[in-house]
Amino acid sequence: NQRFVLASRPVGAPTAENFRLEEVDIPALGNHDVLIENHHLSIDPYMRGRMSDAKSYAEPVAIDGLMVGATVGKVLESNHADYHPGDWVLAYKGWETHSVVNGDTLIKLNPDLAPVSYALGILGMPGFTAYMGLLDIGQPQEGDTLVVAAATGPVGATVAQIGKLKGCHVVAIAGGEEKCQYARENLNVDACIDHKADNFAEQLAEACPQGIDIYFENVGGKVFDGVMPLLNTGARIPVCGLVSQYNNTALPDGPDRLSQLMGTILVKRLTIKGFIIFDDYAHRYPEFAHDMAKWVGEGQIHYREHAVDGFEQAPQALIDVLEGRNFGKMVVNIK
């Protein structure tokens, strides 16, 4: 069994030295335990947070501790009545080639419904995040203008497409022309703007002639600066993530715009609400699972994976996601 542990805490962007690859024995199975051969490892932006010991909504990974993460794999051995060798399962344990977990914590997957790795993306945590953040906090109404960045990633692309299903004018934001072209052609969005363009803020204003009713916050930073002056009265901002800030070691340079933001919240009567998907919405998972399976099955929602082959690629895959070098949901193929 190979596994990656956290060797040291990153300062700024993570580097390969922050991870250590180890060879360890597979532990003996206890009552109700299942041994899984992991085939796909999910790489997600939140993992950067777990590498840091700053206070957050979840405990950090300990130094020398297993890097946390979701995997999809095949059952090899089972001491649990519900699981048998050959079953496909979703586990939440970590960056390792084999996992031993209590079967009660697993979700069984049906490989005939969709590729099993979709459980790490559109049919799993990122899809659920997009669904709840947009529908519950964003409250999309027909004709609303919805803006979402990281628009080719699993959360952003799903937000954009659900927004279109709900009749919104959707303006996507992505890094680079290739991603924007993909968004325009495959995600059915009304416009896509490259946040690296010099005149990004002007392009955004042009694409939102009626202002912005929903800004689904995935990235923060410069993108939010462009959005703030365009917000309409009563706009909703689900605060999902701030990926442009995760590698920062200090607050950005001034001027301090907090009073401008507070003034905008007051005058425009904004609703700004953060959420942590499973902490806040676990009870609504069945509703999501039903709707998303239907939309994906009917081809109404398009999904793109960025798969890299080889377990040893996992650290670089996370480094890449934090720099926008993924194009679609980042998954490491272990087998």
Closest CB 4 distance from ligand NDP, rounded Å = 19
Q: For ligand NDP, give the closer residue by CB, 110 or 248.
A: 248
Q: Which residues bind ligand NDP (CB under 6 A)?
A: 44-46, 126, 129, 149-150, 152-156, 174-175, 179, 195, 218-219, 221, 223, 240-241, 243-244, 275-277, 321, 324, 326, 330
Q: For ligand NDP, give the closer residue by CB, 38 or 42.
A: 42
Range 150-153, long-range pairs (CB < 8 A, 24+ positions) = 150/174, 150/218, 150/219, 150/241, 150/243, 150/324, 151/179, 151/183, 151/187, 151/189, 151/192, 152/179, 152/182, 152/183, 152/187, 152/304, 152/327, 152/328, 153/126, 153/218, 153/326, 153/328, 153/329
Q: Where are the alpha helices (DSSP H) in 84-138?
A: 125-132
Closest CB 226 distance from ligand NDP, rounded Å = 11
Contacts of 305 by beta carbon, 8 Å cutoff, 6+ apart: 117, 121, 328, 329, 331
Closest CB 216 distance from ligand NDP, rounded Å = 9
Closest CB 285 distance from ligand NDP, rounded Å = 13
Q: For ligand NDP, give the closer residue by CB, 230 or 240.
A: 240
Q: For ligand NDP, give the closer residue by CB, 34 or 51.
A: 51
Closest CB 179 distance from ligand NDP, rounded Å = 5
Q: For ligand NDP, give the closer residue by CB, 103 or 324.
A: 324
Report the C-alpha gap between 311 and 40 in whole angstroms. Answer: 9
Q: For ligand NDP, give the closer residue by CB, 109 or 150.
A: 150
Residues 41, 69 contacting (CB under 8 angstroms): yes
Residues 226, 206 contacting (CB under 8 angstroms): no
Closest CB 221 distance from ligand NDP, rounded Å = 6
Residues 325, 43 contacting (CB under 8 angstroms): no
Closest CB 196 distance from ligand NDP, rounded Å = 8
Q: For ligand NDP, give the closer residue by CB, 193 or 235.
A: 193
Closest CB 144 distance from ligand NDP, rounded Å = 21
Q: Where are the alpha helices (DSSP H) in the chain?
A: 46-50, 125-132, 154-165, 177-186, 200-207, 221-227, 258-268, 277-281, 285-297, 314-322
Q: Please state, in angstroms and as integers, the Cα–Cα distance from residue 176 to each residue in 151, 183, 330, following that order.
A: 11, 11, 18
Report the C-alpha gap between 119 and 42 in whole angstroms. Answer: 9
Q: For ligand NDP, give the closer residue by CB, 73 or 121.
A: 121
